[in-house]
Structure 1
């Protein structure tokens, strides 16, 4: 793949007396980036807009517009209802299988595309609880800094089933450790639910160690992979994970509201029952007869009609991930976050900005969170200037670095803009 010089698109990097060394370094990093050519495949990367929020919503691929247009005119418009029999009914398992293979480290038959992350997590947690036959296991273990939807839905399940929640008091700057899980899990623990990458700090949990700790306590392990799928190498089969869920609109570029994925370890599938029975999860969806009989395998985790558009969009990114490989993608994510720390130390730390993300690359995902009391206002100003990170209360800017679509020059462009806006506010306050 060939690529133009990303730095040439960002005019704010020219003429700043204290940035020329970083500008040259960013150009060098881009020139030596083996994945640099992938950036041009995404919409908007040929503009000066600096996008540092790929961990919330990924850019669309250019090919997606062509594929959706073709789908509308040929598959939907041409084949109409016949499309369900010819292809669409199989997409949740077909795309799910590719996602499992390319992203999760999961063998075939264990991953399916279905619903939103919240609904998928509800299905998985309820199914896991139903699989625990020991009546003494009445506790769900989770942490205080997990993503809100995870906490809310488990609170609802606990109220629904009259279970007890046991909370790990997570440090937002470090996340949940194996030691904390070993200390908190015990004879009453039924299910442990944690995020692999903390949404706020970017802390990367020890999947293998924590899963083993849950199993040694006799509990089942559920992982939320929203902030790691597509940016961190995963090996859910090797780590003996029981269940996992994640969204597809971040690093997998499925688009706003694209459907989530569910992973269920094959050892659980034969006897597992999920709680939302719908026609697509039945043994024969079109038999239309009384009574629900779950489909064989992972298909039983479907409920309603599959979201075809979202799967078409994410298919392009899954193809790129299979081509590039998760190893090189993770390597670039590490370099991007290392560069963000370099820029922080030189340009933002002197202004009182503090990182909330671990400096050890083995302990972080693909985003870096920086804290300053002025960052809520700074973020709003940056958005008006077409520099787009996101803000997380109480005072954090998250710099989300999507390895296939983000350049090193784009990171410098964004951090330079953060510094400029922060300097303006500090000068006014001073």
Structure 2
């Protein structure tokens, strides 16, 4: 019995066969043209598919989500712990930073690696690790446009949106932290957070107040409304406002430590964006924010700074360790970089390898102990990773089996991309398994004569 189908361009046709598990169908059209067409483009009275309609198990669905992420060379967040291999040295270095935060009240770790080396994956893994160990965590991924280093307000907003900590078996955010802080009457002298906490304490907070705390732009009249008596400073969207946002972040870290948490861990990904700016002013302001955040985390900024006006640039600056830290130009809002010493912040920055010519100020802020260069995974770690990937693939596509010879061939194919980085190794692994699966499927279901 023949099956008639219709294509929006080629018209009516007769179905002859299929390949790739029914994803492509061979159709003979009325003009005798024979074409392989994706099944989604063909209809009869209803959408056609030669694959039997059946529900897949939860385990199969989860594994397919993992494989689809692997096609892009990334690991999904829910599988980070399961798919982290060969990073014991790097993890130990990160844990040393956590210990230093607990003992000394601040630390910095700069993670360096080429594109595709696994920097973002390592940050995701350590983010989960810090969360499990009782730290408050937040992360920001920089980009050349909105979340650029010379726009400190936008980076602060990303930190607030991603801030998490564990309270029992529940994950909480910045609003929960501030409600907790309001209940114990912390930080009466914090210029930004104290006015807001006084309203939270009286149950007078509303959504606009929370948006203001989280760094969103809100109407200025709201801040001056006598009904709320907030009278809070403006969250300045200025490139020179790095001092304000380091000050607020160190205030949140103080809350966290006072409330019994071990400190605030901040993750900054794609930090190399700071060195790739079109204009000299955006480069200078972006580096200033990163340098200020580093020095704040290392407790090397002054809680009572001596600020002067630089006549050559017109900026308000503080001379510190041979560098000039920039402060915003609005005197009323000219806070120090740190709320209290110690800052309570562990800053983790991921970037491509730093070079003295482009990242001079950053390198002056840290010593070799604060730098971590991601090592290339050895062949054993890659083979373990590939075996885990194959296991997920066979769960994602029930019925697919791979022989020892095919396993070795696929692994060899993936190893050819090893030099390009872990991301390309993962993508090549999935490609090799796809070839195996589709070639078997094509052999098993050749076109009908």
Question: Normalized against structure 1, the TM-score is what?
Answer: 0.25
If the length of structure 2 is used for normalisation, what is the TM-score?
Answer: 0.24
Larger radius of gyration: 2
